Structure 1
Amino acid sequence: MSDVTLVSKAGKKKASIGKARRAGLPNWLYGWVLPVIVLALWEAASALGLVSDSALPAPSKIAKAFWQLALTGALADHVTSSAIRAGGGFLLGGATGLLLGIFTGLGKWAEKTLDPTIQMLRTVPLLTLIPLFILWFGVGEFSKVLLIALGSFFPLYFHTHLGVRSADRKLYEVTRILQYSKLHLLTKLIIPAALPNILLGIRLSVGASWLLLAVAEMMGASAGVGYMIQDARVYAQTDIVFVGIILFALVGKLSDSVVRLVEKRCLRWNNSYKG
């Protein structure tokens, strides 16, 4: 068999594989296969009476509750209140973590003085601080935003500090030869080198803000998704509890996807980025 024939057969084989791949599901649909199967089995189990509606309502009933809350406008009000709290806490904690991470990453004195204390505070479970927050700040909006900010602070601080400290020393030598000013050194070397770590810290901080939002809204809020879940628990409205859980999952996933999109656009220059 000649080489030309072998090459021709190999080409046909690759073409057939490519057609088979194109004939399959789009990549974005593969993530929905397992949830759809679980929902179908769940609905079937509810229809056959294998599970109790009071403990585990059927997906159709949860969807009905979701639709009713959306029609009355209560759903939009709760989501808006939660988004404002989570966004405010994330901006406060994230900005503080970013600035302190850069500050301790750049200066040895700042790292020796501040970083050990911050690392020690990072190990304290945030839920243990709730009684203190209530005693000091009450159960108003400030205590909730501050709790979310504290949870958002540590991931961004840690990864920013790590990114600044891990910048290539050879690049520092190049900037000295080119006589970069401190401002140019910060904007042209340090921040771009630390950007992958900073964006990873932002993703983790966004996730932490939504996790702590649920806790914060269960300690005395009058609106929000966490409050909706707590209120539904009191009245044994399990379907609404599931609506709140699904909302947290959807909004959390959406915010994480937005940050990942920013990562891909900001790190196109980085050949080692695999996000």
Structure 2
Amino acid sequence: MAMTVELPALEQTDARTDAMTPPASSARLARYARPALGLLLPVGIAIVWEIVVWLGLSSGRLVPPPTKIFATIMELAKSGELSRHIIATLSRVGVGFGLGVVAGTLLGAVSGYWDLARRLLDPTVQALRAIPSLAWVPLFILWLGIFETSKVALIAAGVFFPVYLGVMGAILSVDRKIVEVGRTFRLSGPAMIRRILLPAALPAYVVALRVGLGLGWMFVVAAELMGASEGLGYLLLDGQQLGKPAQILAAIVIFAILGKATDWLIEIATAPLLRWQDAFGRQSGGS
């Protein structure tokens, strides 16, 4: 008798679950459609400005239409200049980002885990963090010369501070109850870091990496104003000196594409490490 009563209820529950589960094709379509939504705003603005210039409502001299910017990018690509500038900028950002991440992670972890180190290091680091990026330029040129070393050092300095602050803040914000559980199980210092502090701090660390990468792209412009003969920052300066607004905007567009692409790579690379999260962004289908 119990079976005859429970079976229909189970069948109704399964039917409701199947009805609520979206088909696989719809899920795939939604997964590809979400990134495309981010293109609506920039593409919409570009189309509107193209129409405005085409109708003669603006001359487009200072802000060229998208077709002219695209033509400038194609000219630079055909001449081989574009690839040379992109490779130079990417290499500087890559090396500077790597050095800044290593230094920021190590010092941030030490300051977050060890109270004495935080009292010694953090006031100085926070004071240095308030110094504008351009203020470092003459000092780095004086110390390291005008070539690649000073440029990479400036980018590394820009990446270091958000990574340091993110790592230290993430460790300090770990729930005390979780740490007490580790102490109850008598975990050693390395085991406490590996099994409790590192997983708990990882989401904030990923955010710090993305913020650091964004500042690395900002600092590379200042770095490439330091006597560079190639790079997207040099392309900006060259366009300004020669009065070529299309070239300036072309460099800005390429900066935006490269910055978003590298940020997306970090997001993709770290996604497997954050699958355990039961966060609101994942529930609502975040980016």
1:180 maps to amino acid: L
**Cross-structure match for 1:76:** 83
**Cross-structure match for 1:182:** 189
The answer to whether the 8 Å contact 1:104/1:114 transfers is yes
**Cross-structure match for 2:109:** 102
**Cross-structure match for 1:4:** none
Within a 5 Å distance, the mapping from 1:151-170 to structure 2 comes to 151-170=158-177
The answer to whether the 8 Å contact 2:133/2:222 transfers is no
Within a 5 Å distance, the mapping from 1:206-221 to structure 2 comes to 206-221=213-228
Q: Secondary structure at the match of 2:278?
A: coil
**Cross-structure match for 2:39:** 32
Per-residue CA shift, 1:204-238, capped at 9, x if unaligned? 00000000101111221011011111112211122
Whole-angstrom CA distance in 1 between matches of 2:230 and 2:216: 17
Alignment partner of 1:247 is 2:254: yes
Q: Secondary structure at the match of 2:268?
A: helix
The answer to whether the 8 Å contact 1:155/1:201 transfers is yes
Whole-angstrom CA distance in 1 between matches of 2:231 and 2:149: 15
The answer to whether the 8 Å contact 1:267/1:273 transfers is no
Q: Alignment partner for residue 200 of structure 1, among 198, 207, 228?
A: 207
**Root-mean-square deviation (CA), in Å?**
2.4
Per-residue CA shift, 1:37-86, capped at 9, x if unaligned? 21122112222333234312221111111112112221111111000101
**Cross-structure match for 1:90:** 97
Q: Alignment partner for residue 143 of structure 1, among 142, 150, 165?
A: 150
Whole-angstrom CA distance in 2 between matches of 1:173 and 1:35: 49
Whole-angstrom CA distance in 1 between matches of 2:179 and 2:256: 43
Offset of residue 254 of structure 1: 1.0
**Cross-structure match for 2:133:** 126
**Cross-structure match for 1:6:** none
Whole-angstrom CA distance in 2 between matches of 1:134 and 1:150: 14
Consecutive unaligned residues in structure 1, runs of 5 or more: 1-10
**Cross-structure match for 2:55:** 48
Offset of residue 273 of structure 1: 6.0
Offset of residue 271 of structure 1: 1.6
State the identity %.
Answer: 37
Within a 5 Å distance, the mapping from 1:230-245 to structure 2 comes to 230-245=237-252
Q: Alignment partner for residue 71 of structure 2, among 64, 74, 77?
A: 64
| Stretch moving more, 104-113 or 262-271 | 262-271
Consecutive unaligned residues in structure 2, runs of 5 or more: 1-15
The answer to whether the 8 Å contact 1:100/1:157 transfers is yes
**Cross-structure match for 2:12:** none
TM-score (norm 1): 0.87
The answer to whether the 8 Å contact 1:89/1:152 transfers is yes
2:180 maps to amino acid: E
Residues 272 and 27 (structure 1 numbering): CA distance in 2 closer, same or farther, change over 3 Å?
closer
Q: Secondary structure at the match of 1:110?
A: helix
The answer to whether the 8 Å contact 2:76/2:82 transfers is yes
Q: Alignment partner for residue 173 of structure 1, among 168, 174, 180?
A: 180
Whole-angstrom CA distance in 2 between matches of 1:226 and 1:148: 13
**Cross-structure match for 2:275:** 268
Task: Figure out how many residues of one structure are paired with residues of the other and give that number.
Answer: 261
The answer to whether the 8 Å contact 1:203/1:259 transfers is yes
Whole-angstrom CA distance in 2 between matches of 1:35 and 1:156: 29
